[in-house]
Structure formats: C-alpha cells, structure tokens
Amino acid sequence: MTTNDIRKAFLAFFEKNGHKVVESAPLIPANDPTLLFTNAGMVPFKDCFLGTDKRSYTRATSSQRCVRAGGKHNDLENVGYTARHHTFFEMLGNFSFGDYSKKEAIGYCWELLTDVFKLPKEKLWVTVYAEDDEAYDIWAKDIGFPEDRISRIGDNKGERYASDNFWAMGDTGPCGPCSEVFYDHGEHIWGGPPGTPEEDGDRYIEIWNLVFMQYNRHKDGTMEPLPKPSVDTGMGLERISAILQGVHSNYEIDTFQYLIKQTADLLNVKDSDNKSLRVIADHIRSCCFLILDGIVPSNEGRGYVLRRITRRAIRHGHQLGAKGNFFSKLVQAMVDIMGEAYPALKEQQSIIEGVLAKEEDAFAKTLDKGMQILEADISDIKNKTISGETVFKLYDTYGFPQDLTADIAREKGLEIDWDGFEKAMEEQRQRARASSNFGVDYNDSLTLEEKSEFTGYDYLSQQVKVVKLLKD
C-alpha cells in the first residue's frame, strides 16, 4: 500500500463508521494565539471539545498536516537521529464530540489495526493512564489483549525518556488521559517496551494515541471537566506506512525514498543512507507546507521557525557539497510525490520556489564565511566547547540561528557555552537600546505571546504578503 492508499483507507474506514471526513486545516491555527502551529489532528476541533463550536456532525475523521518544530511539541532536534520523528507529518485521526467514548474508540482502533490493516497482534503493545482502570479493562477484558503487554503509565512530570499518558495540546486547553498503541519492530533494533527507561529507542514505536478528552486546563492549572467527555485520536501516517510497507524507519517509506532519491541525484550523492539527506527530505516538506499556509522566513515568531528550518536544510546541503541553490529545486519533487493529496502544492509551486530561493540567496552570502569562522574556532578549541561569542557572532553577523550551530556542534561531539552566548546577546541588547536601533528583533523566543499581531488564518492576505516579498 502506498502512503496515499493508507491515508484513503483510514478515512474510508471511519467514514463507513459514521464519521464526517473533514479536510486538513492549515498549519496556522485559526484564532489561537497560544499555539505556534497546528501540532495535532485535534487542533481545528478544539472548540468542538470545549462545546463552544457546534457542528452538524458529532463524529469526524481527518488527515491533518502538522508541524512540531517549536512550542510545546518540538521534534526539530530529533530529525535525522530517530526513525520516527519529522518536523512535518500527517496525523490521521478520528474524533467524537460528546458522541462515543473509550469503549468505541478502542474498538475502532483494534478493528482497523488488526482486521483492516492486518497487523500481527503479537507485535502490538498498549499503554493506559495509570489511574484509568476503565481503559485497562476494555483492553484486557473486552478486547482480550494480553495483560503482560499492557503498561500503566502516569503523567511522568519532567521525565525526558518516559511516555506521558496525559495528553495536552499546549499549556492550556482540552486535555485528558490517553491510551497508546506501540509496534515492536524487532529485537535487532535497540529500545525497550513503553514505560521502561529504554523506550525512547526505536524498537517499540508508538503508532496511535487515543486521547479521552475530559478536561479544559486553564492558565492557573485548574482542570475544568468538559461538558461531554469526547475522543481525539492521532496516528502518524508515516509511522503506520512504515509498518505496512515492511520497513522500520519512516524515512524508508515511499514518500521519503522519493524525496531522498531526488535530493541525492541533485547533489550527486551516492550513498542514500545519509543523515543530511534525511534532514533535507524532512525539511523540504515542512518548508513547502509552511509557505503554502502563508508563512515567510523572518526574524520572529513563526517566520523565524521557518527560517531556522530552511537554513538548517541549506547547511546540510552544503555539507553534501551543494554549490548554489538546491533546496528550492526540491519543490518539484514535493509536487510529484504529494501533489495528488495536496493540489495546492502545484498551484503555489512557483511562489514556494521563489520564497525558498530568496532565502537560499540570502544565506549563501554568509554561510561559507560563517563556516570558515566556525572551523577556525573549532580547530583550536580547548575544552570541547564552542565559545558563546562565536555562536553569537555567527548568529548576529552570519545569520546562523543558534540551533543550526548547535546542530553542527552535536555532529562534532562538541558543547556550546550557552551562558556565554546569553551574555553576548544581552550586551547586544544593551547596545541596541542605547542607540535605539530597532532594526533587528533579538528576542527569538519561539513561544507566541498573546499580544502577537497574528489574528488568525487569512490565506489571501498571507499570499499577498508572499507575493510582495518576492517582488522586494
């Protein structure tokens, strides 16, 4: 099954079961200044869970485009390193707005995975929220799922390597306990079952999260019960595709193999098993869709996230020997492989290419020089730490977002003196204040503040902005 077939099969299954098929919303959440990007399938339905948006249906299904590259859910650092994380991915979901609850949600999940997709049952593992006896009993008694493969997991506050079975979109908003399904890719891959310290390996990969939406969390942390308990589920299209296409890593599925092959051909790289190729293939997807949804590279907020991703991809291309623009040329590959599912990609192709080419031109001017400075700094480095001043100079003068420098440091096994960087940054702020030079925004904190100018999604005016920028 191709990724396109799998998307269709998922939506058709839920449509047959009374769900309204809803088209993917844009990546800019409408009327939600608390959220950087749409990071889950439930985001466009947030108000349906809260009971303030009433629709003509109480069951929905979608394949929602998502970006996790900033804010509460940020997987940028994982890209290139894990088999399962992207900055851009599609989340398949089914939703109940006060209609059905846990029993039906788990039942549909089981039926789709084992009857329709025919996954081997013995490779599946399940988690439930520690206190959720109801969900536990549905799995153990109604489904007959072996209890030695069900783990109870708490909310693991602050633990980096543990599942978190209390799902929240952000710091506020609808949330609730969840139950997740994992797939065991086999003992030749490192990793442990969910709930163990080794779970963050890529052997047991989480495929589907069933969230039982029960609360609305407020700013002060209080949890108000929702008018009607609801269901929100999310399954990564690329992760289920990997399983159904008989491969381990998401980067081995049809979509990614095509993008990787096109990149390798363009850059004349022989070995396609290459981290930089994976990073570029990932980043061209998020960049295309972010631009499609009206974002352009800039020095703040969402635009800065796009700039960071673009420049990271460009740096990886140059590491592979790219001379001149290459990233914008990959838009064609995206149109080839994702244009059927997203016709807007083709319609906006030249705009997307133009925005990326402009960013490549801008960064090309400083990338080589910045790299030389960094290499020189690294060659006489003493304590395996890149100085904060260097990181700042690269940022300030050569347009290297700090995570780009951190990416290079990680590849070389080096640390960064972040305190030194902060100090240099603060000194710059002082100087800027003193000379009232407001030209550059040095506050690149990626959480949007509520006073943000952005008032929601306005596709047309965003497009106008993109076109204007191209003319500049």
By beta carbon distance, the residue nearest ligand ATP is 236
**Interacting residues of 376 by C-beta distance below 8 A, sequence separation 6+:** none
Q: Which of 46, 84 has the CB closer to ligand ATP?
A: 84
Q: Which does 208 bind (CB under 5 to 8 A by kind): Mg ion, ligand ATP, none?
A: ligand ATP
By beta carbon distance, the residue nearest Mg ion is 209
**Number of residues near ligand ATP (by CB under 6 A):** 16
Say if CB 231 and CB 102 are below 8 A apart: yes
| Segment interacting with Mg ion, rule: CB under 5 A, options 29-37, 202-210, 408-416, 459-467 | 202-210
Q: Does 165 bind Mg ion (CB under 5 A)?
A: no
Q: Which of 32, 238 has the CB closer to ligand ATP?
A: 238
Q: Does 46 bind ligand ATP (CB under 6 A)?
A: no
Q: Which of 86, 308 has the CB closer to ligand ATP?
A: 86
Q: Which of 89, 326 has the CB closer to ligand ATP?
A: 89
Q: Closest Cα partner for 317 from 278, 373, 372, 366?
A: 278
Q: How far is CA 86 from CA 66, 129, 237, 280, 310, in A?
A: 10, 26, 11, 11, 14
Q: For residue 177, what are the β-bridge partners?
A: 166
**Number of residues near Mg ion (by CB under 5 A):** 2
Distance CA 370, CA 363 (A): 10
Helix (H/G/I), strand (E/B), else coil: 53: coil
Q: Which does 32 bind (CB under 5 to 8 A by kind): Mg ion, ligand ATP, none?
A: none
Helices and strands of the chain, counted as H and E runs? 15, 11
* Smallest distance, Mg ion to C-beta of residue 180, A: 5
**Interacting residues of 421 by C-beta distance below 8 A, sequence separation 6+:** 388, 389, 391, 392, 395, 402
Q: Does 209 bind Mg ion (CB under 5 A)?
A: yes
> Which position among 7, 85, 149, 316 is part of the footprint of ligand ATP (CB under 6 A)?
85
Q: Does 241 bind Mg ion (CB under 5 A)?
A: no
- The string of DSSP letters for 117-163 reads S---GGGEEEEEETT-HHHHHIIIIII---GGGEEEE---TT-TTS-
Contact pattern from residue 423 through residue 452 relative to Mg ion, giving x for each residue in contact according to CB under 5 A and a dash for the rest: ------------------------------
Q: State the angle between helix axes of 301-319 and 275-292 in degrees (0 to 180), rounded to the nearest 10.
A: 150
> Which position among 13, 14, 45, 89 is part of the footprint of ligand ATP (CB under 6 A)?
89
* Smallest distance, ligand ATP to C-beta of residue 142, A: 22
Q: Does 75 bind ligand ATP (CB under 6 A)?
A: yes
Q: Which does 354 bind (CB under 5 to 8 A by kind): Mg ion, ligand ATP, none?
A: none
Q: Binding to ligand ATP (CB under 6 A): which residues in 174-213?
A: 206-209
* Smallest distance, ligand ATP to C-beta of residue 387, A: 32
> Which position among 48, 67, 226, 235 is part of the footprint of ligand ATP (CB under 6 A)?
235
> Which position among 19, 46, 59, 84 is part of the footprint of ligand ATP (CB under 6 A)?
84
Q: Which does 203 bind (CB under 5 to 8 A by kind): Mg ion, ligand ATP, none?
A: none
**Interacting residues of 71 by C-beta distance below 8 A, sequence separation 6+:** 35, 36, 37, 39, 170, 446, 447, 448
Q: How far is CA 302 from CA 37, 130, 294, 452, in A?
A: 8, 36, 10, 11
Q: For residue 231, what are the β-bridge partners?
A: 96, 212
| Segment interacting with Mg ion, rule: CB under 5 A, options 12-20, 201-209, 213-221, 340-348 | 201-209
Q: Name the percent of the chain in helix, strand, coil, to the closest 5.
A: 45, 15, 35
Q: Does 206 bind Mg ion (CB under 5 A)?
A: yes
Contact pattern from residue 239 through residue 258 relative to ligand ATP, giving x for each residue in contact according to CB under 6 A and a dash for the rest: x-------------------
Distance CA 284, CA 334 (A): 8
Q: Which residue has the tokens 């001017």?
A: 365
- The string of DSSP letters for 405-469 reads HHHHHHHTT-EE-HHHHHHHHHHHHHHHHHTT--SS------SPPTT-S--S--HHHHHHHHHHH
Say if CB 333 and CB 284 are below 8 A apart: yes
> Which position among 59, 86, 217, 283 is part of the footprint of ligand ATP (CB under 6 A)?
86
Q: Does 316 bind ligand ATP (CB under 6 A)?
A: no
Q: Which does 149 bind (CB under 5 to 8 A by kind): ligand ATP, Mg ion, none?
A: none
Q: State the angle between helix axes of 254-267 and 331-338 in degrees (0 to 180), rounded to the nearest 10.
A: 160
- Longest CA span, the chain: 70
* Smallest distance, ligand ATP to C-beta of residue 208, A: 6
| Segment interacting with Mg ion, rule: CB under 5 A, options 207-215, 285-293, 309-317, 402-410 | 207-215
Chain contacts with Mg ion (rule: CB under 5 A): 206, 209
Chain contacts with ligand ATP (rule: CB under 6 A): 68, 75, 84-86, 89, 91, 206-209, 234-236, 238-239
